[in-house]
Amino acid sequence: MDESKIAPAERIMSARTRCLEMLDGLLRRPSWVVACTLFVFLWPGASPAADNQPYVVRKNDTLSSIARSHGVSMNQLLEANALSRSGHIRVGQRLKIPQTPSRSASIDETSPPSGLPSSIQAEMNRPRIIPGRWDYIVIHHSATPMGDAQSMDRYHREQRHMENGLAYHFVIGNGNGMRDGQIVVGHRWAQQLNGGHLASEALNARSIGICLVGNFDKDRPTRRQLESLDAITEYLMKRCRVGKSAVKTHQQINTVGTRCPGRLFDEGAFLRGLN
C-alpha cells in the first residue's frame, strides 16, 4: 500500500529532481540548456510511450527529461518533431521518439540479462540512472483483490493528491484487472522520480517501489506474479547495484507499522530465490 500523503513534500522533491537534471545538463551540454527549462503546468492525460509509439507530454516534463528518459539526444528529439529550441511543449502533446543507433547502443550497454519480456526490458532500460540513485527495492501488495496501474494512478492523484500519480515504479498484475504476471513500468521509473510508497520522504527518495496486485493477507501471490517479481528485482539489483540485503518488504522498511505485503507473502522464499 502507498503511504505518502504529503503532496507539498513531493513537489519539493520533484523540483529538486528538476534542478539536478538542469545542473546535469549544464555540466554536460552547451548553451541550449535554456531550452530545457520548458516546464509545463497543465494536467496530464496519457500513458507512458511504448516502442515506436508517440510519447504524450505530462505535467513537469521538459524536453531534456523526455530526451534523457528515452536515451536520445535533445537534437534528435527536436529534429524528429520539427521543434525549435525556443519552442514550447504542452501537456497532452504527442512527441515522436526517434529510433537511433545511439539509442540501441546505449540500451545494449546498460542492459543486464534478465528473464523479462523484451518490450518490458526495453522500457526499463530507457532511463539513464545516476549512480547511487537507488538504495532499496521495496515490495508491496495493493491490499485489494483486483486492480490495475491506471486505476491506482488515478487513486493516487485524485484521492491521495500525489501530483506524480502512481506511487510505485512498477505494478505486477494478478489476472484481475491486469493480466496475471503482467508488468507495468510506471512513469516514476521512466522519469527516475522518487517513489510515493513509503511513510518517510527520505526513504521514498532512495527506494524503488514494486506493487503486486492482490490482498496477501487473504490470498497468495500467483506463480506468474512471483516469476515477474523475481525477474524485475534481479534486473534492478544488477542495474542499480543494489544488494540482496537492500531488497525489503514494505513492513521491513517502513517507519510506521504496516502489514504490507500481507502475511501470505513469503519474503524468506522470495529472497532465497533471487540470483
How big is the site for Zn ion, counted in residues (CB under 5 A)? Answer: 4
Q: Tell the smallest beta-carbon distance from residue 197 to Zn ion (Å).
A: 6
Q: Tell the smallest beta-carbon distance from residue 6 to Zn ion (Å).
A: 16
In the region spanning residues 25 to 84, those forming contacts with Zn ion, defined by CB under 5 A, are none
Q: Tell the smallest beta-carbon distance from residue 23 to Zn ion (Å).
A: 32
260 interacts with Zn ion by CB under 5 A: yes
* 177 or 214: CB nearest Zn ion: 214
* 140 or 188: CB nearest Zn ion: 140
* 2 or 21: CB nearest Zn ion: 2
Q: Under a CB-based contact definition with an 8 Å cutoff, are residues 186 and 170 in contact?
A: yes
Q: Tell the smallest beta-carbon distance from residue 184 to Zn ion (Å).
A: 17
Q: Tell the smallest beta-carbon distance from residue 62 to Zn ion (Å).
A: 30
How far apart, in whole angstroms, are the C-alpha atoms of residue 172 and residue 82?
37
DSSP secondary-structure letter at 144? B
Stretch of 1-9, 17-25, 111-119, 125-133 lying at the interface with Zn ion (CB under 5 A)? 1-9
What stretches of the chain show up as alpha helix (H) in DSSP? 7-28, 63-69, 74-80, 101-110, 118-125, 149-158, 187-190, 201-204, 223-239, 250-253, 267-273
Q: Tell the smallest beta-carbon distance from residue 200 to Zn ion (Å).
A: 13
Q: Give the residue among 215, 197, 216, 213 at the shortest CA–CA distance from 205.
A: 197
Going edge to edge, which strands form the sheet with 207-212?
183-185, 170-172, 207-212, 136-141, 247-249
* 126 or 250: CB nearest Zn ion: 250
In the region spanning residues 237 to 256, those forming contacts with Zn ion, defined by CB under 5 A, are 250
1 interacts with Zn ion by CB under 5 A: yes
User: Regarding beta strands 247-249 and 136-141, do their DSSP bridges make them parallel or antiparallel, or are they unpaired?
Assistant: parallel
Exposure class string for 38-65: b at 16+ Cβ within 10 A, else e: bebeeebeebbbeeeeebbbbbbbbbbb
Per DSSP, the three-state class of 97 is coil
Per-residue contact flags (x/-) with Zn ion for residues 177 to 216, judged by CB under 5 A: ----------------------------------------
Q: Tell the smallest beta-carbon distance from residue 199 to Zn ion (Å).
A: 10
Q: Tell the smallest beta-carbon distance from residue 1 to Zn ion (Å).
A: 4
* 24 or 135: CB nearest Zn ion: 135
In the chain, the amino acid numbered 252 is Q
Cell of 66: 523526455
107 interacts with Zn ion by CB under 5 A: no
Q: Under a CB-based contact definition with an 8 Å cutoff, are residues 44 and 92 in contact?
A: yes
Select the residue interacting with Zn ion from 140, 157, 188, 206 (CB under 5 A): 140
Per DSSP, the three-state class of 34 is helix
* 60 or 204: CB nearest Zn ion: 204
* 141 or 187: CB nearest Zn ion: 141
Number of Cβ within a 10 Å radius of residue 257: 7
How far apart, in whole angstroms, are the C-alpha atoms of residue 101 and residue 108?
11
- Interface with Zn ion (CB under 5 A): 1, 140, 250, 260
